[in-house]
Copies of this chain bind each other. A is one copy, B any other.
Amino acid sequence: MIRLGLIGFGHWGPNLARNFNTVDGCRLTAIADLSPKRRALARRLYPHARVVAGAAGLIRARDIDAVAVASPVSVHYSFARAVLMSGKHAWIEKPMTTGLAQARDLVKIAETRKRVLFVDHTMVYSSVVNRMRGLVAQGELGKVYYYDAVRINLGLFQHDVNVIWDLAPHDFSIMEHVLGVRVRGVSALSRDCVGSGVEDMAYLTLHCEGGLLAHFHLNWLSPVKIRRVIIGGSRKMLLWDEQNPDEKLRIYDKGVMVKAREEGLHRFHASYRIGGMHAPVLESAEPLATAVSCFLECIRKGTRPLTDGRAGARMVGLLEAADRSARRGGAVEDVAGLPG
């Protein structure tokens, strides 16, 4: 039985608590939050757990094996560092830190101290994402032409990060996992439309290994919530619609091929293949529950998680590159040197 502590019971923390309270093999032992109101809620929901204001005691506690950090991003580093230094395993919400140097530092500490450092890129553990990864890996799509993601809604404005740091970690981690390719260049355009001091909409263009083009539309100012990925391939095409309760994933037996090309002319003959659509049945496991199980297993077996510190550091590097590109008007930032 792995005993878990949780720092931060704000927006995402309650989801962690709920899963720590239900996944087999662990126990929710303590919760820390600075807000008296949030502590009262935590006590109401989990009367068997210790609920405290400050994180320090929790980090030092003898009856806790691992600590999840779900505080604002700006304090991820200091909390996670203390957790690892105290010999505990660490779970950190995404994005891992506010800068690459801090992320690398945490990686180093975790490796030196042989502690599990898990970064919560949740969707990497979802069944639909892994189904897509399998389809791509097995060549079902043929040659992948593009990856287009739209992640927009009337946002929860994050107090200490912009829309890129809030939303892009989902799309970066999903895309690299599904396609099995790495981003090599990042171009971003963003705007602070409402004048809040942080960007609330952004378009990212990603230049990937093999010439593949990816594009993310991220927006906190959309009247409708859309979570949709389209992957175009030479043999088949995918549409993943997170909002569709019944048919999250659609596999289209559609394609285009250039059959012949008349000499001496700018013309060609494009042939369309218009087949049916298949929506497979998917496992309904909650991705976060699967992620928690993986974290526990890594602790028990001493293995490294799929979304380890290096993956988290790579993500921070990608986000920094997007910010840099946006400041330079969309110029492509080279990210070939990032970890992961």
Chain A residues with CB under 8 Å of chain B are 21-22, 44-45, 47-48, 145-146, 148, 150, 152, 154-155, 157, 159-160, 187, 189, 191, 193-198, 200-201, 203, 205, 213, 215, 217, 219-225, 230, 232, 234, 237-239, 243, 245-247, 250, 252-254, 256-258, 261, 266-268, 270, 272, 274-281, 329-330, 332
Nearest-CB residue, chain B, relative to A27: B47
Q: Taking A157-B270, A160-B266, A256-B154 as contacts, is the C-beta distance between A193 and B45 under 8 angstroms?
A: no
User: Would you call A239 and B223 a contact (CB within 8 A)?
Assistant: yes
Contact call B223/A237, Cβ cutoff below 8 A: yes
Provide 16 A-B residue pairs closer than 8 Å at the C-beta atoms, listed in order of the A residue.
A22-B45, A48-B48, A157-B270, A159-B268, A193-B232, A194-B258, A194-B270, A196-B268, A200-B256, A219-B232, A221-B256, A222-B230, A223-B230, A223-B252, A225-B246, A279-B279
Copies in the complex: 4
Distance (Å) between the CB of A77 and the closest chain B CB? 17
A306 CB → nearest B CB, Å: 26
Instruction: Give which listed residue, B45, B221, B281, contacts A146 with CB less than 8 A.
Output: B221
Report the minimum CB–CB distance from A198 to chain B (whole Å): 8
Residues of B within 8 A of A205 (CB): 189, 203, 330
The A interface, classified by DSSP as helix, strand, loop or mixed, is strand
Which chain B residues border A330 with CB–CB below 8 Å? 187, 205, 330, 332
Complex-state Cα separation, A21 to B203, whole angstroms? 43
Residues of chain B lying within 8 A (CB to CB) of residue A45: 21-22
- Whether the pair A234, B194 counts as a contact (CB closer than 8 A) is yes
Inter-chain CA distance A119–B224, complex, in Å, is 34
Q: How far is the CA of A217 from the CA of B155 in the complex (A)?
A: 22
**B145–A268 contact, CB under 8 A?**
no
Contact A201–B146 (Cβ < 8 Å): yes
Q: Are A280 and B274 closer than 8 Å at their CB atoms?
A: no
Report chain B residues within 8 Å CB of A154. 254, 256, 272, 274
Known: A145-B193, A277-B278. 18 other contacts (CB 8 A): A145-B191, A146-B201, A146-B221, A159-B268, A160-B267, A194-B257, A196-B258, A197-B261, A197-B268, A201-B232, A203-B203, A203-B215, A205-B330, A219-B232, A223-B230, A225-B245, A247-B277, A275-B281
- Chain B residue numbers with a CB within 8 Å of A201 are 145-146, 213, 232
Is the CB–CB distance between A224 and B246 below 8 Å? yes
A280 surroundings in chain B (CB, below 8 A): 276
Q: With the chains together, A270 CA to B192 CA distance in Å?
A: 12
In the complex, what distance in Å separates the CA atom of A145 from the CA atom of B222?
A: 10
If A232-B223, A239-B224 touch, does A277 touch B274 (CB 8 Å cutoff)?
no
How far in angstroms is the closest Cβ of chain B from A155? 8
Shortest Cβ gap from A202 to chain B (Å) = 10
